[in-house]
Amino acid sequence: MTERDEERLVRAVRGRVLTEVRDRLAESVPLADEQVPEVLVRTRVGLPAEAWSDIRSAVREIRATFGDGDGRIRVEFDVAADAVEPCDVTCAMPKPRAAEPEPAAQAAPGAPADEAWLLVLGADGLEFHFLLEPGPDRVPLLRPGAGYDGTGLLLPQSLSDVPHGHLVDLSFAGGRVRAHRVPDRADYTVEVDGVELDAAGIGLAESGELRFAARNGSAARTLTYELAGWNDAVPSAGTGADVLDGGQYQTESADPGSPGALWIQPPAPGTKATTRRFPLPTGRSDVPVHDVHVQVLYTTAQHPVTKEPSHIKIYRCATPQHAGYLRRHLATQAGLVRQANAVAGRPGERSWAVAPIHLVAATPPPEVLTARADPAAVRGGAENRLSAWFGVPDQPQPDCFVIVASPLLQPVGWAGHDKLGTAPSGAPLSALSALAAGVDQLHDLGVAHCDVKPQNVCHHLDAAGQSRYVLVDGDAVTRIGGPAAALRFTPGYASAEVIRAAGRFRAPGHDVIDVREHDRFGFVLVVLTALIGIDKVDALLRGPVGKRPVDSVSTVLDTLNAWPAEWSTFKQALVAPLRPNALLDPDWSAKAWLDRLVALRSPAPGPAPTSAGGARVANGSYGNEVTAIRTALRDDRAPAWAEWREELVTRIRAQQQVVARRVYRSWLWSGRAVFAVCLIVLISVVAGEL
C-alpha cells in the first residue's frame, strides 16, 4: 500500500467511524456517567498508531456532546480479513448498571472502578499477562483441555501441574477483582493466599499466590499474581530520527554470555520508527485482545571489548507502565527461546533453533508497572538521546524505552532453482535439523513462533563450525490456544486452513487457531525453498487463498518433475504435509518429518567419470582443480549462495595459486632448456672461430 493509499484509507475509516458513532448516540437516550459505550472498529489492514489515536480522540469529543456524561467511551481496533471496506463499526450501548453490594474483600490497588487492571501470573520464571476490564460477567481462568475453543484467560499447556478444566472464575466490579471456585474438578482444591476458595469468592490483593493442589497429594502448582491499574495510551507521533551529535547510546549488556558495555549506534538521520502491537488477552468473547501500541527502531550495536556486533530493537512505549509490561513480556519470550534452544545442543554451545534475545540493562527496571518518573530529571541526558532518535527530542520520556539485543546474523541468500541441479541435496536437510527440533520444542512449551518463513531464516556457525539455519524475530512468539485475534503472521506464508480460520474467528466455536499448524506449514516452505529454490516457492504462493499452486499437492508434485523418477518416494514424503489437515495431527513433528526425508535420500543417479579416489571429475583442462573444490564443499555446506560464496571464493583462489605455480614452473623449465641450447650454440660458434 502506497503512502497516498494509506492516507485515503485513514480518512475513509475516520469518516465512517465518526458518522456511525454520531448516529448511534443520537438515537440513544441521554447517557449518564456510568454508561460507557463500546466501539469496535474492524479493518482489513492495520492502520498507523497515530491514526488510531486521532480517531479515538475524535470519538471521545463526539461522546462528550451527548447526554450528561463526561465523554467516556471505549474504542477498540481490530484487523480482520472479512471486514468490509473501509471498515466495520459496532457501537454497543450498555444499560445502566445497578450498584451491587460487594462482600468485604482485601484492599486492591488504587484505581478508578471503571478502568482496566493488568493481571500478571507467574511460574518458573515465566510471566503471563492479561487485561481485566470491569463488567457484570465473570471470566474463566483455566488451562484448557483438548478441543477447548471457548473464551477465558487461558494458561499455557506447559504448566502441567495446573489441572485441565474450568476451576476458577474472576469477577471485576466495584473496583475489586474477586476469584470464585467453580464446581468442576472436585478432586482439586484451589487456594488464594492460603485460604481455600469457594463459590462466594475471595478478593485479590495487589500481589499474592494462587495454588492448585490435588486432594490425594499427587500434584500441586503455585502461581504468583500481581494486579496494577492499567492506563490506555498510544505513543505520540514523531518526525524522522534526529541523531544530535551522532554519538552512540552507551549502556550495559544483560547477555550473560557477553556482559559489559554495549555501544548502540544511532539510526540513519531521518529514519522513521515503525509501529508494533503486542496483544493483551482479555478473556472476553467480543474483544478477545487489547493491543499495546509501541514504536520500534532497528539499529546495531557493538561490544567495545569483543567487537562482536548485535542487532538492536529499541521500543518506545507510551508510559513507564507499558514499558514495564513490555520488558516483563519480552523477558518471558527470551526464556521460552532459551528453553527451545536447549534441544539443539548442550548449554553454552552456539546451537540454536531461534536466535536468542536479551534485554539490555537499561530502563525501566523490571519491577516498574505503575511508576511515572519526572521528565525534567533526564532532559538533555542519555534517555533524551533515545527520544531524539524517535523524532521527539523535546519530549524526554524516562523509563519509556525497552531495548532488545540479539546476534547480528546474515540472512540466508536462498539459491534459485537454476543453481540447485536436478536432484535434492542432502546438505540443507542436515543444516535444518536443529531448527526442526527447536520448532517442536516451542510447541511442547505451549508457544509458537508464528512467523516461520524463508525470509526469517538466517545462518550461523555452531560449536563445531558447521553452517546451520536459525530463526530470527523470537520476540514474536505467541501462546498456543490464545485468541485468534492475537495472531500476528504473514498471510502470504500461511496455509489455507489458517487464513480461513483467521477470517472467521469471530464465529461461535472458532475463536482459537492452532498456531502449531501455522509454524509447521512455514517450516515446510523453508525446506522446499532449500531444495527447489526461492523462485519456485514464490511462484507456488502466488494467487488467492485456496487457489494458490501450493494449495494443490498435484501442482507441487508437477514442480518437482525435474527430479528423476528414482526420487518419487522422496517427493511423496516431501509433499505429504501439504495434504489437507495433515499438519493438524497433534503427533506431527517437524524433526520426524525431516529425519524421514534424510532417510529416503539417496545419491543422485547417473554415471559420471571418476578419479582413482572415486570422486567425480569435471571436464576441461582444469577438471581436477574444479573437482577438488567440489569435493571440499559438497558435504559440509548448504547450497544457499550467501552461505558458501565466501568459502567458495577462497577455495577458487587457492586453486588458482596451484595452477599458477604449476604453469610458472613449466615456463621456468622451458626457459632453462632454451637458454641451455643457446649457450651450447654460442660455445660451439666461439670454439669454431678459435
Lowest-pLDDT range of 291-300, 368-377, 471-480, 568-577: 368-377
Whole-structure pTM over 0.75, yes or no? Answer: no
Give the confidence band of 443 by pLDDT, cuts at 50, 70, 90.
confident
Q: 180 and 284 share a domain?
A: no
Report d(CA 386, CA 422) in Å as an integer.
Answer: 52
pLDDT digits (tens, 9 = 90+) for 189-242: 999 999 999 999 999 998 999 999 999 988 899 999 999 888 888 888 888 888
The amino acid at residue 417 is H
Residue that is last in its domain, among 211, 229, 247: 229
- Using the predicted structure, report yes or no on whether residue 575 has a pLDDT greater than 70: yes
Mean pLDDT (the chain) is 77
323 belongs to a structural domain: yes
Q: 420 and 529 share a domain?
A: yes
Give the confidence band of 619 by pLDDT, cuts at 50, 70, 90.
low
Residue that is last in its domain, among 229, 255, 290: 229
Bridge partner residues of 468 (DSSP): 460
612 belongs to a structural domain: no
Report d(CA 361, CA 382) in Å as an integer.
Answer: 14
Q: 471 and 559 share a domain?
A: yes
- Using the predicted structure, report yes or no on whether residue 460 has a pLDDT greater than 70: yes
Three cell numbers written together for 493: 506464508
375 prior amide bond cis, ω within 30: no
616 belongs to a structural domain: no
199 belongs to a structural domain: yes
Q: 384 and 454 share a domain?
A: no
* Total number of domains constituting the chain: 5
Give the confidence band of 481 by pLDDT, cuts at 50, 70, 90.
low
88 belongs to a structural domain: yes
- Using the predicted structure, report yes or no on whether residue 408 has a pLDDT greater than 80: yes
Q: 257 and 382 share a domain?
A: yes
Report d(CA 671, CA 681) in Å as an integer.
Answer: 16
The pLDDT assigned to 214 comes to 92
Give the confidence band of 3 by pLDDT, cuts at 50, 70, 90.
confident
Q: 542 and 673 share a domain?
A: no
C-alpha dist (Å) from residue 532 to 160, 359, 418, 505, 582: 41, 38, 9, 34, 22
Residue that is last in its domain, among 194, 229, 264: 229
- Using the predicted structure, report yes or no on whether residue 623 has a pLDDT greater than 50: yes
Residue 180 sits in a domain of what CATH number? Answer: 2.60.200.20
Q: 77 and 45 share a domain?
A: yes
Q: 289 and 320 share a domain?
A: yes
3-state helix, strand and coil shares in percent for the chain, rounded to the nearest 5: 35, 20, 45
Residue 276, domain extent: 239-368+378-408
The winner for highest mean pLDDT among 71-80, 538-547, 616-625 is: 538-547
201 belongs to a structural domain: yes
Query: Which residues neighbour 432 within 8 Å (Cβ) at sequence distance 6 or greater?
Result: 469, 526, 527, 530, 594
The pLDDT assigned to 594 comes to 93
Exposure string (b/e) for 529-546, b if CB count within 10 Å is 16 or more?
bbbbbbebbebbbeeebe
Bridge partner residues of 170 (DSSP): 139, 179
Q: 179 and 243 share a domain?
A: no
Listed as own residue / partner, the contacts of 208-217 with beta carbons closer than 8 Å and 24 or more positions apart are 210/121, 210/168, 210/179, 212/161, 212/162, 212/163, 212/167, 212/188, 213/188, 213/189, 214/163, 214/187, 214/188, 215/187, 215/188, 215/189, 216/187
308 belongs to a structural domain: yes
pLDDT digits (tens, 9 = 90+) for 95-139: 654 444 444 444 344 444 567 889 999 888 778 889 998 888 899
Q: 399 and 417 share a domain?
A: no
207 belongs to a structural domain: yes
Q: 549 and 435 share a domain?
A: yes
Residue 587 sits in a domain of what CATH number? Answer: 1.10.510.10
Q: 574 and 659 share a domain?
A: no
- Using the predicted structure, report yes or no on whether residue 330 has a pLDDT greater than 60: yes
Share of the chain above pLDDT 70, in %: 74
The pLDDT assigned to 197 comes to 93
Report d(CA 610, CA 89) in Å as an integer.
Answer: 72
